[in-house]
Amino acid sequence: MLIGIVLVVHNVLPNSVTNFEKPQPYFNILLIVGFLLCLLLAGVNTVITKKITLFQYNSPRIGVVFTLVGIYDLATAKFGWINTLFFPNPDKIFGALVNNSTLLLKCLGYSVWLLVIGWVIGGILGVVTGVLIGWSTNWHYWLDPFVKFLGPIPPTVLIPIALSAFPTSFAASAFLLALSMWFPVTILTNSGIASVRVDYLEVADTMGATTLQKIFKVALPASLPSIFVGLFNGICASFITLMVAEMLGVKYGLGWYINWQREIMGYANVYAGLIVLAIAFSLIITILFKIRDHFLKWQEGLIKW
């Protein structure tokens, strides 16, 4: 019902400012599809099952979202309460999403590829460094001060050094993302290794396990909860670093796209990029938790997303 009201109001009330641009039908299409989809899901639930479905559970949220979008439409396009230059109406935002979909998908692919490279390098180095510090007293003596000195420094502060040290801006951006991942993974892996119960290691010694077997068969599996917390923190930190790292002269990427559109005052495209960014990052975190639940089935449900 709320979606239907928003649809009617959006089409009945005239815009407050005459717009000479070609009308964008995509917001109307979104409202119509959302309205029909909600009717379909509600009808299916009534006919087929009497249980509370996922749609029923989220229907109040869906209604609130479309209500807020309707209020925003009234405040921008219909009554002009806020400056539409910096806060474009939904027609322009959804029009930018559709019209620039090819470029947005290309930028998304570039950003994800850059993130994956940084995560793999930073994650592997973080686990290795954390194991060395947590397992060996000699490595702990030499590496721990280095980690505590370099780790708390925000990676974006090292942009001038990265640009000078690496031959391309892509390599410099990957380095900054790897650094964002490396520190939290190192700290949490070290904490997990150092917290392994002594009796587990004593049993492994009794069974004649070598040092590598104790690390890979006992210490690392026991440290997985801490390692996944480090990965979660590192991934979240890398999202912030990505937005800055892609301003170093790279050709594509969501951070580059948003900054470029901001500079030319294409704020509808800026909001479109932010929507893609929010959806992509939310999906990435969801996938991480699915992987975590797979490897830590005995802890499933302890930490939820």
* pLDDT for residue 16: 66
- pLDDT value of residue 276: 92
Please list the residue range(s) of the chain that carry CATH number 1.10.3720.10: 101-299
Structure confidence at residue 49 (pLDDT): 53
**Residue 235, token pair as written in the block:** 């991934």
- Four-point Cα dihedral 287, 292, 294, 300, nearest 10: -110
Q: What is the pLDDT of residue 52?
A: 55
How much is the pLDDT for 297? 72
CA–CA dist 252, 248 (Å, integer): 11
- Are 280 and 255 in contact, with CB atoms under 8 Å apart? no
Give me the average pLDDT of each 10-residue run along the chain (305 residues). Answer: 62 59 70 75 59 68 81 81 84 88 91 92 93 89 88 83 84 90 93 83 77 84 88 88 78 86 88 91 88 73 51
**Using CA atoms, how far apart are residues 117 and 261, in angstroms rounded to an integer?**
26
What is the predicted pLDDT for the residue at 290? 85
Query: pTM surpassing 0.85?
Result: no
Please give the pLDDT value at position 178.
93
Q: Which fold has domain 101-299?
A: MetI-like fold (1.10.3720)
